[in-house]
Structure 1
Amino acid sequence: MATHPQAPARLSFATRIFYGVGSAAFGVKDNGFSYFLAFFYAQVVGLPPAKVGLAIMVALLIDAFIDPVLGQLSDNTRSRWGRRHPFMYAAALPVAVSYLFLWNPPVGWSENALIAYLIVAAILIRTFISAYEIPSAALAPELTADYDERTRLLSYRFLFAWLGGLATYAAALTFFLRPTAEHPVGQLNPDGYANYGLFAAAVMFITILISAIGTHREIKRLPSAPHEKISLGRFWAEMGGTLANRSFLMVLGAAFFLAMAVGLGFAISLYFATFYWEFSAWQIAGFTGSSLLAAVIAFTITPHVASRFDKRPASLALVPVAAVFVLGPVVLRLLGLMPPNGSGTLYATVFAANVIGMSAATTAGILFTSMIADVVEDAELKTGRRQEGLFFAAAAFVNKAVSGLGIFGASLIVGAIRFPRDAAPGRVDPEILRDLALVYVPVQVLLYGLATLFLLGYGITRASHAETLRQLAARAELVREGAPTG
């Protein structure tokens, strides 16, 4: 059993900031995958959309095996820098270099060779970001056991992920993907993506190091790894036994389908913004302000929501609200009730709907992650093991499903409706745009509905969590006194 010094109920502001800032690296990677990657490799590099989606799915499936191993390794690492920080420091440079390679595919290669390049590059960046993200995320339940403080701490993590991702996305559209005489549509400018990759890699490298150095002083009070050596057979047995926790499986399922819904929306958003709504590059760049505002709103309201309500019922209300506002503008356009393209009213309406929908979705996402943190003690009571890294490895896999499964789903939709390559805004067949909406909306309704359904099976409440902490404290006291714990 890992030893766990008493964690304070309330953390300092500096600790929250340093903990949160590292998630900017994940936000940069995730926004790049969600908004640009499928579009870049299909519309700019010229690969078939279905093959691009399949390539990203292959990388995601490999993640399903890599992430739990990284989490388990982190849980059992013994070093003078604790269980988490060796991984955090070591990941910084490989994350930056692998992301840079992703946006600089070779010129003159065959289609199959480029698909292979995309798969390898995607696997590398996902693996290296996991080597940072999983140990970093696992710090949350270690830093504090308080039911509400965890939610507050994780709000910082989500805020910086959004800030990093959206700021880099806006910089890409504003400074790098600018229209030229050769490429009048900035999003189709290949040189801009290489410059974006260099800038994004630098942001990821710097923020990871800031977080690792800033939280280094907390190492002395974090849990240490078990003293006994773990065999390979026990390694896999413990992993399976821990991940079988019912509440964990339910919240993981809910998070998985919410991630799929949000990821699909992100991955296909550039198609909607460019062709369905016919927003300009400047409007699309400005549109990131709606997501940024949503992140700030979620950061502000989530701790209050969590302190006033239990996390599960709050999430059960938020997920349907997110679905209504995210899908509302598209449904209204299908019904002929939206303003025409090019009007300021249209832009304002879509902007406002995105603010409300993404505020609700992000708040639910923070609560989901906080619920996973609460599973740590529930599992410890049942198994005698603290395995934060393993739980958050599964959560990291779900978070990466935002981009992986989103890109795959968006690629299938774009391929199914036979969306044209090298399309120009205003020149796409209206029937194809209508088909885009008619396929997208039902798929999203299904995903948001499944997320809501899975939440019903989560069983940890504020009261049950407090009782679990009481029983763990009593067990620890018996251990100190040398009595058997049963």
Structure 2
Amino acid sequence: MNSLLGAAIGGMVIVLNLGLGMNPALVGLVSALPRLTDAITDPLVGYISDQTRSRWGRRRPYIFGGAILTGIIFALLWQLPHGQSEDFYFWFFLVGSLVFYFAYTLFATPWVALGYELTPDYHERTRLMAVQNFMGQMAYLVSPWFLWFMQNDGLFDNMVDGAAWLAMIIGAFTIFVGVLPAIFLKEPYLNTIRSDAQDTDTQSFNGGVRGFFEGFLLTIKFKPFLCLCAATFLVFNGFMLVASFQTYVIIYYVFGGDQSLGAEYAGWAGTVSAIATFCIIVVISKISISMGKRKAFFLATGMSVFGYGLKWFCYHPEYPLLLLLPVPFYACGIGSLFTLMGSMIADVCDLDEIETNERREGMFGSIFWWVVKLGMAIALAAGGFLLNATGFDVELGSAQSDDTLFWMRLIDVLVPMVCSTLAIWMIYHYPITEDIAHQVRLKLERRRGKMGIAESSSQT
């Protein structure tokens, strides 16, 4: 569900430009501005979830209610009325998005936190995140075809009507799948966290507003966590910044403005990317066990840099099938990112507990995913302005200038290459190795009087 919504948000927003004629810069702004409010709502919901004590746990009540709200609001968001002004569509979508993202936060923040705390084992965390990421990638088998579905003349009168129906389908699926973790998963720290903190002499947080700000400040100053956030921001932001560019390059450079054929090939590229990502998730989890999480990140991100560069040569009007060649390479970056980052954040949460005596997966998860969403917001906003800067004009159709096409292609290739290279440099400074993670885990288990569990976990 989480991946499906993320893919849908990025893939459907093009309707505002191609279907309603909204200026690309305004499309970028209306996509980006709601994500800025997540800087407040994400950590707040994360903190509230961390502090919640109920018979159903810290996470499950929010996951259950948040999934239902998110599905309903997403379906309503895309019921766009016809014949309105550009200003009307801007404000309609902006206000609706603010409500949607708050509901989304109620679900996603506790759901992410629950994933970090399901297992204490160093390598099992990677396998768990690999399975989670693998299942999430199912969304990307279908999301590349969203544009084709929405603009299908045989199904709908126009693209806007197609988006309305697609949103209702996604909303219903969101509700059905989103409540499952709340029903079937158990929380491992339900009865132990508060007693652990009270039995020690080291720092713990007071509740309420003071506790929120103390926890927030400690989290954003925790250097291992900052390394992960910076690397994720760079890889994901670089990818998202050119996500729309890739579609425009395929349509207007490779296929000379043919939207139907361009959407079909963009769909095939997305499908190949999803299939490649499935393979990458499996491979990277095994490489991580043998080489370590940092080296696995270096390898996968390096392959993506090569893939982005390959696009310059393989996006060719005379050989359109070549555009599929770079896909498996640049898919390595995104495919491995959330498998490795999720596992590494779980390690960070252990190290943080040594210092604070709090299990704060909600706070770490909320800030991490806010960074991801901030990257998406900046990418969507900057993408619209960059597209304008290239001289692109949707009214010109296939008559875009050679300079426009050149700059579109250059941005599509260069931006993610630079961002991914900087991300490798950031993870080079990430300090938690497997030995350090095991030492931290043993100390935590001694504190809880569960040394036997720690020993059995380290042997698996």
* Alignment partners' CA distance in 2, 1:223 and 1:115: 47
Q: For the Cα contact (< 8 Å) 1:28–1:165, is it kept in 2?
A: yes
* Alignment partners' CA distance in 1, 2:317 and 2:177: 42
* Alignment partners' CA distance in 2, 1:233 and 1:29: 33
TM normalised by structure 2 equals 0.88
Deviations 1:176-209 (A, max 9, x none): 43135997xxxx7222111111111112111102
Q: For the Cα contact (< 8 Å) 2:126–2:339, is it kept in 1?
A: yes
State the match for 2:207 in structure 1. 230
Q: For the Cα contact (< 8 Å) 2:278–2:335, is it kept in 1?
A: no
State the match for 1:208 in structure 2. 178
State the match for 1:7 in structure 2. none
2:11 to 35, 45, 49: 35
What is the Cα deviation at residue 129 of structure 1? 1.8
Query: Counterparts in 2 of 1:231-246, with a 5 A limit?
Result: 231-246=208-223
Go from structure 1 to structure 2 and tell me whether the alpha carbon gap of 1:455 and 1:324 turns closer, same or farther (over 3 Å shift).
same
The letter of the residue matching 2:9 is F
The letter of the residue matching 2:358 is R
Q: For the Cα contact (< 8 Å) 2:242–2:411, is it kept in 1?
A: no
What is the Cα deviation at residue 392 of structure 1? 0.6
> SS of the residue aligned with 2:270?
helix
> SS of the residue aligned with 1:308?
helix
Q: Which moved more, 1:406-415 or 1:355-364?
A: 355-364
> SS of the residue aligned with 2:113?
helix
State the match for 2:263 in structure 1. 281
1:395 to 351, 364, 368: 368
Q: Does 1:300 align with 2:273?
A: no
The letter of the residue matching 1:340 is P
Q: Does 1:476 align with 2:448?
A: yes
The letter of the residue matching 1:201 is G
Query: Counterparts in 2 of 1:264-279, with a 5 A limit?
Result: 264-278=241-255, 279=261
1:145 to 120, 124, 137: 120
Q: Does 1:261 align with 2:233?
A: no
Q: For the Cα contact (< 8 Å) 1:35–1:269, is it kept in 2?
A: no
The letter of the residue matching 2:278 is V
> SS of the residue aligned with 1:219?
coil
> SS of the residue aligned with 1:143?
coil
What is the Cα deviation at residue 173 of structure 1? 4.3
What is the Cα deviation at residue 297 of structure 1? 0.8
Q: For the Cα contact (< 8 Å) 2:11–2:147, is it kept in 1?
A: no
1:420 to 387, 393, 411: 393
State the match for 2:408 in structure 1. 436
Structure 2: state its 5+ residue gaps.
199-205, 256-260, 452-460
Q: Does 1:46 align with 2:21?
A: yes
The letter of the residue matching 1:427 is A
State the match for 1:20 in structure 2. none
State the match for 1:322 in structure 2. 304
What is the Cα deviation at residue 46 of structure 1? 1.7
The letter of the residue matching 2:419 is L
TM normalised by structure 1 equals 0.84
Query: Counterparts in 2 of 1:191-206, with a 5 A limit?
Result: 191-206=161-176
State the match for 2:201 in structure 1. none
Any runs of at least 4 consecutive aligned residues in structure 1 with deviations exceeding 6 A, and if so which?
Answer: none
Q: For the Cα contact (< 8 Å) 2:74–2:100, is it kept in 1?
A: yes
* Alignment partners' CA distance in 1, 2:86 and 2:384: 17
The letter of the residue matching 2:242 is G
Go from structure 1 to structure 2 and tell me whether the alpha carbon gap of 1:125 and 1:276 turns closer, same or farther (over 3 Å shift).
farther
* Alignment partners' CA distance in 2, 1:60 and 1:175: 26
* Alignment partners' CA distance in 2, 1:223 and 1:409: 46
> SS of the residue aligned with 2:8?
helix
* Alignment partners' CA distance in 2, 1:181 and 1:297: 34
What count of residue pairs does the alignment treat as equivalent?
Answer: 437
> SS of the residue aligned with 1:419?
coil
Q: For the Cα contact (< 8 Å) 1:100–1:198, is it kept in 2?
A: yes
State the match for 1:128 in structure 2. 103
Structure 1: state its 5+ residue gaps.
1-24, 480-486
* Alignment partners' CA distance in 2, 1:352 and 1:270: 16
What is the Cα deviation at residue 168 of structure 1? 4.2
Q: For the Cα contact (< 8 Å) 2:17–2:23, is it kept in 1?
A: yes
Go from structure 1 to structure 2 and tell me whether the alpha carbon gap of 1:328 and 1:363 turns closer, same or farther (over 3 Å shift).
same
State the match for 1:19 in structure 2. none
